[in-house]
């Protein structure tokens, strides 16, 4: 063979290999952290790109709080045999009761072993992502669901203080209405309304009662649970009538603008108010546990896993390593409003809200959020949205309790 032809072949082969290597160096990360929710994820991806500069990251987001839209797209892709390389899912039955039982996720136990993570994450969090001896995702954060947000200067102007119980909330609500605040409590779309019920139920049933709903020991038809819906109905009367058309950010904005006094929202709201709105915790906005839940931390955790059949498996394992590292968690969480899922994070990097959440996380009674996948099976959580809608228009507490019990039975809660 002539030397020039030989050289050309060698060059072509080398180019082919390079092209192949380049083509293989990519990863798709799928989540609902778009727009205002994006900065924390962007910081994590930046860290990943610094460590793996040849990998092209496709930051694939589907907008919509709590993943209502993203989860539907994910389902289509998973069932269609086109899983994203790595996707966001709440720790708990949202992942284990769906894609893990269906054998669609890889067991990450060996990654936990090689990274020494068993001692770095709280056992309770690892339990949430475990199934039959395997560990199926890596948690990037811990969020709190039962937080009430307000602007101190506005409460001062109206001459009201932060209600400590739901009964006090109703009284404060009347005071504020008399002062011209039409909707003292602002709510957003369906899932944010469910968070208000979640807070009311935890307050009125206590953490043990809340847990008993999910282990089947307490029936939804119990008069104590019916009472939680009755209270929820009264609280709805204190809220805006256009809730279903508001995103959680738009609901937060109404507190900031002084149109409403309070909003109950997970602490991603702290991320939004500090990272996007550049407000100072303590003065620009302030917080307290939602009424009646002081001492209880309703938790949820976002996690990412490795679906079977992922096209870029090696890149996913590296992505998970960055996400589960101390450095990764401390890049992500200070911007997100959450705290690290790891126990060894450097709190000096966090703002005042997150430091207070970290303290509560250590000292409070911890329970799981139903709305965000930690406490109940996905089939219950997705069905509860319709019960909420029906209740918002009917205010029929007994009917809501009965429908919830029927749903719990269908979802085999406690069986």
- Give whichever of 166 and 197 is closer to ligand GAL, judged by the CB atom: 197
Nearer to ligand GAL by Cβ, of 181 and 366: the residue is 366
Least distance in Å: CB of 56 to ligand GAL?
25
Residues 259-278 that bind ligand GAL (CB under 6 A): 266, 268
Report the site for ligand GAL in 86-105 (rule: CB under 6 A).
90
Distance in Å, CB of 368 to ligand GAL, minimum: 12
CB of 415 to ligand GAL, least distance (A): 26
d(Cα 149, Cα 247) in Å, to the nearest integer?
Answer: 16
To ligand GAL, the closest distance from the beta carbon of 186 in angstroms equals 16
Q: Chain centroid to CA 312: how far?
A: 26
Could you say whether residue 300 binds ligand GAL (CB under 6 A)?
Answer: yes
Stretch that binds ligand GAL, among 32-40, 69-77, 253-261, 350-358 (CB under 6 A): 32-40
- How many positions of this chain bind ligand GAL (CB under 6 A)? 14
Q: How many CB atoms lie within 10 A of CB 339?
A: 29
Residue number with CB closer to ligand GAL (52 or 361): 361
Q: Kindly tell me which residue out of 302, 312, 315, 378 binds ligand GAL, with binding defined by CB under 6 A.
A: 302
Residue 358's contacts (CB-CB under 8 Å, 6 or more residues apart) are 339, 345, 347, 350
**239: β partners:** 185
Of 341, 289, 276, nearest to 90 by C-alpha is 341
Q: Does 37 bind ligand GAL (CB under 6 A)?
A: yes
Length of the chain: 415
Per residue in 264-277, is it b (16+ CB within 10 Å) or e — as a string?
bbbbbbbbbbbbbe
Rounded least distance, CB 339 to ligand GAL, Å? 12
Q: Which two tokens stand for residue 159?
A: 């001459």
Beta bridge partners, 112, equal none
Stretch that binds ligand GAL, among 7-15, 64-72, 158-166, 400-408 (CB under 6 A): 64-72
Is there binding between residue 38 and ligand GAL (CB under 6 A)? no
Min dist CB 37 to ligand GAL, Å, is 5
| Residue 139 interacts with ligand GAL (CB under 6 A): yes or no | no
The count of other CB atoms within 10 Å of the CB of residue 242 is 12
In three-state secondary structure terms, 348 is helix
Residues 232-261 that bind ligand GAL (CB under 6 A): 248
Query: 348, exposed or middle or buried, with CB in 10 Å at 0-12, 13-18, 19+?
Result: exposed
Site for ligand GAL contains 67 (CB under 6 A): yes
Exactly one of 372, 381, 388, 391 binds ligand GAL (CB under 6 A); which one?
Answer: 372
- Compute the distance between CA of residue 81 and CA of residue 60 in angstroms, rounded to an integer: 17
Order of all β-strands in the sheet with 147-150: 263-264, 147-150, 286-289
Binding mask 177-216 for ligand GAL (x = CB under 6 A): ----------------------------------------
Do 137 and 129 form a contact (C-beta atoms < 8 A)?
A: yes
What separation in angstroms does the CA of 76 have from each of 212, 234, 391? Answer: 33, 39, 30
User: Site for ligand GAL (CB under 6 A): which residue of 43, 44, 65, 225?
Assistant: 65
Residue 207: both structure tokens together: 């953490």
When the beta carbons of 219 and 342 are compared against ligand GAL, the nearer one is 342
Instruction: Name the DSSP letter for residue 273.
Output: I
The C-alpha atoms of residue 261 and residue 212 are separated, in whole angstroms, by 32
Q: Is 143 in the site for ligand GAL (CB under 6 A)?
A: yes
Stretch that binds ligand GAL, among 65-73, 152-160, 325-333, 360-368 (CB under 6 A): 65-73
Task: Tell me the residue ranges of DSSP E strands in 324-398.
Answer: 365-368
What is the closest distance, in whole angstroms, from the C-beta atom of residue 188 to ligand GAL in the complex?
10
Q: Which residue of this chain has its Cβ atom nearest to ligand GAL in the complex? A: 65
* Positions 327 through 366 that interact with ligand GAL (CB under 6 A): none
Q: Is 144 in the site for ligand GAL (CB under 6 A)?
A: no
Q: For binding to ligand GAL (CB under 6 A), which residues are involved?
A: 32-33, 37, 65-67, 90, 143, 248, 266, 268, 300, 302, 372
């Amino acid at each position: 063979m002539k030397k020039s032809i030989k050289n050309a072949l060698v060059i072509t082969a080398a180019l082919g290999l390079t092209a192949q290597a380049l083509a293989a160096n990519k990863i798709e990360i799928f989540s609902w952290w778009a727009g205002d929710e994006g900065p924390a994820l962007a910081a994590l991806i930046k860290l990943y790109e610094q460590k793996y500069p040849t990998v092209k990251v496709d930051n694939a987001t589907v907008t919509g709080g709590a993943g209502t839209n993203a989860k539907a797209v994910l389902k289509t892709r998973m069932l269609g045999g086109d899983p994203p390389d790595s996707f966001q899912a709440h720790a708990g039955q949202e992942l284990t009761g769906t894609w893990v039982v269906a054998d669609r996720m890889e067991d990450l136990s060996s990654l936990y072993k090689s990274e020494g993570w068993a001692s770095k994450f709280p056992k309770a969090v690892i339990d949430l992502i475990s199934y039959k001896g395997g560990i199926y995702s890596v948690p990037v954060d811990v969020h709190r669901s039962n937080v009430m947000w307000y602007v101190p200067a506005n409460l001062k102007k109206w001459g009201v203080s932060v209600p400590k119980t739901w009964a006090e909330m109703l009284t404060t609500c009347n005071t504020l209405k008399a002062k011209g605040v039409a909707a003292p409590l602002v709510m957003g779309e369906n899932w944010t309304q469910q968070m208000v019920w979640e807070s009311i139920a935890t307050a009125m049933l206590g953490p043990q009662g809340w847990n008993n709903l999910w282990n089947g020991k307490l029936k939804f038809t119990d008069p104590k649970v019916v009472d939680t819906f009755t209270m929820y109905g009264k609280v709805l009367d204190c809220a805006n009538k256009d809730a279903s058309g508001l995103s959680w950010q738009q609901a937060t904005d109404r507190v900031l603008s002084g149109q409403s006094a309070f909003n109950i929202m997970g602490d991603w709201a702290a991320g939004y108010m500090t990272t996007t709105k550049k407000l100072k915790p303590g003065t620009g906005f302030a917080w307290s546990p939602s009424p009646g839940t002081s001492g209880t931390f309703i938790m949820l955790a976002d996690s990412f896993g490795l679906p079977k059949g992922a096209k870029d498996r090696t890149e996913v394992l590296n992505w998970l390593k960055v996400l589960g590292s101390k450095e990764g968690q401390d890049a992500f969480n200070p911007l997100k409003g959450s705290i690290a899922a790891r126990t060894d994070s450097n709190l000096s990097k966090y703002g005042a809200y997150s430091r207070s959440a970290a303290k509560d996380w250590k000292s409070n009674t911890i329970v799981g959020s139903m709305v965000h996948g930690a406490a109940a099976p996905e089939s219950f959580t997705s069905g509860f949205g319709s019960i909420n809608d029906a209740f918002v228009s009917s205010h029929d507490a007994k009917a809501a309790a009965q429908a919830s019990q029927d749903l719990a039975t269908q979802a085999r809660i406690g069986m």
